[in-house]
């Protein structure tokens, strides 16, 4: 008999674009999935929508205020350590403020062709592939 799946952790993340590049962030070395690369964002709080969560998280993590936000993708991702995440991806084409790294090991602005040079979270790979294929259209 297989174990029941745990309730997914709901997460909102932003694909922040500027000057033909996308902001990518490296998780802290002592965090779950440490030193893996991802898009910024975080866990939704009870009663919070994905948009509200992302706006809050980007303010906390990067000191920016989102101006233009649109849904991009959604998926459920399971990891080998039994982590299950419902991830809501949003395109961020405009924001106010200057990006400041408040929580990450490192941040980099990358063009989609550079994604393969870094170890990204497994769950981000379908979105990375989609971005590589359609970045000119965004």
Task: Tell me the CATH number at 113.
Answer: 3.90.79.10
What separation in angstroms does the CA of 59 have from each of 12, 30, 45, 68?
Answer: 13, 22, 15, 14
2 is a domain residue = no
Looking at the 3D structure of the chain, how many domains does it have?
Answer: 1
Name the helix (H) or strand (E) containing 58: helix 50-62
- Measuring CA to CA, which residue among 19, 18, 36 is closest to residue 27? 36
Query: Is the residue at 1 inside a domain?
Result: no
* Prediction pTM value: 0.88
Q: Which range of residues forms the domain containing residue 129?
A: 9-137
Q: Is residue 130 part of a domain?
A: yes
Terminal-residue alpha carbon distance, the chain: 45
> How does pLDDT run across 16-64, given as a tens digit for each residue?
999 889 999 999 999 888 899 999 999 999 999 999 999 999 999 999 9
87-101 burial, b at 16+ Cβ within 10 Å, e below that, comes to bbbbbbeebeeebee
Local confidence band at 71 (pLDDT 50, 70, 90 cut-offs)? very high
Q: How far, rounded to the nearest angstrom, does the alpha carbon of residue 87 sit from its chain's CA centroid?
A: 8
């Amino acid at each position: 008999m297989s174990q029941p799946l745990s309730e997914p952790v709901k997460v909102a993340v932003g694909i922040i674009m500027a000057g033909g590049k996308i902001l990518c962030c490296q998780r802290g070395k002592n965090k779950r999935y440490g030193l893996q690369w991802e898009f910024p964002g975080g866990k939704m709080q009870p009663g919070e929508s994905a948009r509200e969560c992302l706006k809050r998280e980007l303010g906390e993590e990067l000191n920016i205020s989102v101006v233009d936000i649109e849904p991009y993708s959604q998926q459920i991702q399971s990891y080998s350590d039994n982590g299950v995440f419902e991830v809501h991806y949003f395109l961020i084409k405009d924001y106010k403020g200057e990006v400041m790294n408040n929580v990450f090991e490192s941040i980099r602005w990358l063009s989609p062709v550079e994604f393969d040079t870094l170890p990204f979270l497994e769950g981000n790979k379908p979105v990375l592939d989609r971005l590589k294929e359609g970045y000119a259209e965004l």
